[in-house]
A and B are shown apart, each in its own frame.
Chain A
């Protein structure tokens, strides 16, 4: 059973960089897209970006200038960096696996972490 677990600081100061890691267990990170999604308190879901295991990336245009997603296949981890954060970036951050066309379509997210709450505050 594939499992994902987010880790990282729960508090980030304004203007600094948010850094999170997602550790994947129970399956290989190769041949899939890996996703970051966030959810502000009481609000909906926002797709942040994705990385394929080979290293290609795509980002939400509204965040593109501040986002970097990277993958480390040797440790089965992938990471999110979001720079110049403001209070508007306070949210529950999820990592997830994209089905990637393997057993369901690209763009469907079949495994999720439990989420990590990141608060931007001084």
Chain B
């Protein structure tokens, strides 16, 4: 299995400030034949199921605000929220879909308001 490790486990950021969450995979999730990273980010608010934010490491899902961005390649990835809003309080998960269909998630990063 590809193991996904996120850092930090929790994060407190002031409203309007930048939030950065990291994700590292135990092996590369970059598929050389199409040069795409098989990495997604999900947001899970309390009492709700996860919601996909980003796939292909940097492609925003339809309707996701542009303050959310994804970057990285190979084994190291970052989710950035450029200006934190109150509604962004949630747990964020990265997920690899390279090893189809043995999909795995990171342990989650809890984002709170400072």
Contact between B102 and A60 (Cβ–Cβ < 8 Å)?
yes
Asked whether B93 is an interface residue with its Cβ less than 8 Å from the other chain, the reply is yes
Asked whether B97 is an interface residue with its Cβ less than 8 Å from the other chain, the reply is yes
Which of chain B's residues has its CB closest to A60's CB? B102
Distance, CA A113 to CA B49, complexed state (A):
7
What A residues does B49 contact at CB under 8 A?
A: 94, 96, 112-115
13 A-B residue pairs with Cβ-Cβ distance under 8 Å, sorted by A, are A44-B108, A45-B95, A47-B102, A47-B105, A104-B61, A105-B55, A109-B42, A109-B50, A110-B52, A112-B50, A112-B51, A114-B48, A115-B49
Which of chain B's residues has its CB closest to A115's CB? B49
Residues facing A in B24-44 (CB within 8 A) are 38, 40, 42
Given contacts A110-B61, A114-B49, 11 further A-B contacts (CB under 8 A): A44-B106, A45-B105, A47-B104, A47-B105, A104-B55, A105-B97, A107-B101, A108-B52, A112-B50, A112-B51, A113-B49
State which size class the interface on B falls in.
20 to 34
Contact between B97 and A108 (Cβ–Cβ < 8 Å)?
yes
What B residues does A45 contact at CB under 8 A?
A: 50, 93, 95, 105, 108
What A residues does B95 contact at CB under 8 A?
A: 45, 107
What A residues does B104 contact at CB under 8 A?
A: 47
Interface residues contributed by chain A, number (CB under 8 Å): 23
A60: shortest Cβ distance to chain B, in Å? 7
Distance, CA A58 to CA B102, complexed state (A):
8
Which of chain B's residues has its CB closest to A105's CB? B55
Distance, CA A108 to CA B53, complexed state (A):
10
Distance, CA A110 to CA B38, complexed state (A):
15
What A residues does B100 contact at CB under 8 A?
A: 106-107
B57: shortest Cβ distance to chain A, in Å? 11
Asked whether B77 is an interface residue with its Cβ less than 8 Å from the other chain, the reply is no
